[in-house]
Amino acid sequence: MRVDFEYQLGDLVSFTSRRLTEGYIDDFVLTGIVIDQRLVFTADNKFLVQTPEKDYWVPRPSLTLLSRAQNKTLT
């Protein structure tokens, strides 16, 4: 079965993450590269985004495309 994902490997994306502590809730924007895709039949597809600090599994609606990866393979 062929699945067309909205974001492809190598795409540059951004998303908001939340840091919770006892004293505050801090929302911040992270930027990273899609390195893996997961098909989810009952919910939104998830994408593994690599950032300089760590990797995050992020649902599709939370991502914003910044730049498409170029396909460098010869056909």
Owning domain of residue 56: 12-66
Q: Please indicate, yes or no, if residue 6 is contained in any of the structural domains.
A: no
* Residues 37 and 50 sit within 8 Å (Cβ to Cβ): no
What pLDDT score does 73 carry? 64
Q: Which pLDDT value is given to residue 68?
A: 93
Low-confidence residues of the chain: pLDDT under 70: 1-2, 72-75
Asked, for residue 1, whether it belongs to a domain, the answer is no
Residue 38 burial by Cβ neighbours in a 10 Å radius (0-12, 13-18, 19+)? exposed
Residue 3 falls within a domain, yes or no? no
In a domain, 53, yes or no: yes
Does any domain span residue 49? yes
Question: What pLDDT does residue 53 have?
Answer: 92
pLDDT at residue 19 in the model: 85
Around Cβ 20, how many Cβ atoms within 10 Å? 8
Residue 63 CA from chain centroid, whole number:
6
Give me the pLDDT at residue 58, please: 94
The predicted structure's pLDDT at residue 74: 56
- pLDDT value of residue 69: 87
CA distance 42 to 26: 30
